A and B are shown apart, each in its own frame.
Chain A
C-alpha cells in the first residue's frame, strides 16, 4: 500500500543514489522553469521513463492520494471569481498546469523511493554533506527508518488500550492527549536506551564512510541531470 523500497535489479536500482538525487533536482528545476503545455508534455515522458526505469507503475502514485484533492481543487478555486464571468478559464488553466507539474514531481520521487534502499540514501548523505552535519543526517535518517515501524506500533497499541477502556466516550482532545502521551513516553524510553547503546559502541563523528561509487551507467544519467538544470537555467536567464 505505502510507497517503499522494493528490492530489484532495474536500471534505477543500479544507479548511484547521488545520481538519482541530481536527476530529481534537475527535473524539479526544469518543471518550475517550463510550466508550459509543451514543456510539461516533454517532462511527462521523462517522468514516465523514470518510473519505468525503476520497475514502478501508476499504482505507486496511490501513496500520494492525500495530495490529490488539493491538486484537483486548486484550479477550480483559482478559476472561480465573485461576479461575472464567474469562472475565468485562463486562470484555472494556469493553476491546472502548476498542479500537474506537482504530480510529475511526485512520479519522479516515487521512482527514487522504489529503487533506493536506506543504506544507499544514508551513504549518499554521508558522502555529500561534509563533516558532523553529514554524520548527523546519515545516522539520524537511518534511525528514523529503523524506528518508524516500532513507534507506529506503539501508537496503535496505545490507541487500542484507550479504546478498550471506554475511551471512545471521551472528548477527541482527551483521546489525542492519552495516545500522544503514551507514544511520546515510549519514544523517550527507546531514545534513551538507544543513546546509551550508541555511546557504548563508540558512536563517532568520523566513522568509516560507506562504499559508494559511480558506475558507467551513472554517467548518462548524471548528464541528464545536468542537462535538466541547464534547461532550467536557460529559461531564467
Chain B
C-alpha cells in the first residue's frame, strides 16, 4: 500500500532538476511548470489498477516519483507498506517497480536477460534466484526464452515490455508506468495493455500515468485527475470521465459511462 499524506513538492532547490528534465522531453507529453504537487493526500491499496490522469504540467509525473523517493517532498510524508520511504529507500524501490518514458534510455544492458537481471542483482539476490526472477518476469511480459536477444534489435513495444520486466524482476507490489503508450503503434500498445491486464488480474497493483485515457479506461479500478498539482477528480472511471475531459485529458470519443474499454480506440492518437 502506498500512502501519501499532505504532500507538497516545489520545483525550487533539489527538485528543480526533475522539472528541467521533464521539460526537455521531445514527446512533449510530460510535466513542466512551476507548480509540482500541491497538498495531495492519497492512498493506493494493494492490487488496485489506478490511473493518474492530467494534462501536461499537471504534476502527475512528480507525484508518482515521490512513491519511491526519486522526488523528495518539501512537506508531507510518503509511506510504502507502512514504512516511510525515507527510512528504507531500498524497500520502497523494490516494492514499487517504475517504468518511465523512453524505455530506450532505461535499458542498461546489451541483452534482454542482462537487463532484466539488473534490479535483482542490485538487491543482492543469489544467481539461482536471479535466473528464476528473470524468466518469471519475461514470462509475465510474454517474452519467454528471449534472454539472449539483443536490446538493439527489439521493436518499440518489445522494449517497453522489457522495461516492464526489469521492474517486475524486483517483485514489486505496485508497477508504475509513466505514459507507457507514448510512441507505440496500435499492435504494440495492445501487447502492453494485454500484459498490464494480466498482471493486474494476478494481483499486482498497477499505476498508469497518462494524459490519454482512451487505452486504459477499461482496465482502471479508479481514476485520479490532477490539475496544477492538486487532486481534482477521484473515483471510478465511469463517474470521473466527464470531469476529466475538462482537465485536458483525452477520453474515449463514445463517452460511455460504462467505460467499455476499447470503445474509443478508433481514432489515431
Check A193–B105 contact: CB distance below 8 A: yes
Q: Mark B196-210, 1 if CB is under 8 A from A, else 0.
A: 000000000000000
Interface hits, B95-147 → A, CB 8 Å: 97-98, 100-102, 104-111, 114, 118-127, 130
Task: Please give the distance in Å from B203's CB to the nearest CB on chain A.
Answer: 21
Task: Please give the distance in Å from A86's CB to the nearest CB on chain B.
Answer: 54
A143–B122 Cα distance when bound, in Å, is 16
Given A192-B21, A196-B70, A208-B130, the answer on whether A202 and B110 have CB atoms closer than 8 Å is no
Point out the residues of chain B lying under 8 angstroms from A139, CB to CB.
108
Check B106–A145 contact: CB distance below 8 A: no
Point out the residues of chain A lying under 8 angstroms from B130, CB to CB.
208
Check B111–A200 contact: CB distance below 8 A: no
Residue of B nearest to A118 (CB): B110
Interface of chain A: mostly helix, strand, loop or mixed: helix
Check B108–A143 contact: CB distance below 8 A: yes
Q: Mark B64-104, 1 if CB is under 8 A from A, else 0.
A: 01001010000000000000000000100110011011101
A196–B152 Cα distance when bound, in Å, is 21
Check A200–B93 contact: CB distance below 8 A: yes
Check: A235 CB closer than 8 A to any chain B CB: no
A87–B90 Cα distance when bound, in Å, is 70
Check B24–A189 contact: CB distance below 8 A: yes
Check B21–A208 contact: CB distance below 8 A: no
A139–B122 Cα distance when bound, in Å, is 11
A118–B151 Cα distance when bound, in Å, is 13
A206–B65 Cα distance when bound, in Å, is 24
A51–B122 Cα distance when bound, in Å, is 36
Given A190-B105, A208-B130, the answer on whether A197 and B100 have CB atoms closer than 8 Å is yes
Given A193-B100, A200-B68, A202-B93, the answer on whether A146 and B124 have CB atoms closer than 8 Å is no
Check: A163 CB closer than 8 A to any chain B CB: no
Binding site for B on A (CB under 8 A): 117-119, 139, 142-143, 145-146, 149-150, 185, 189-190, 192-194, 196-204, 206-208, 211
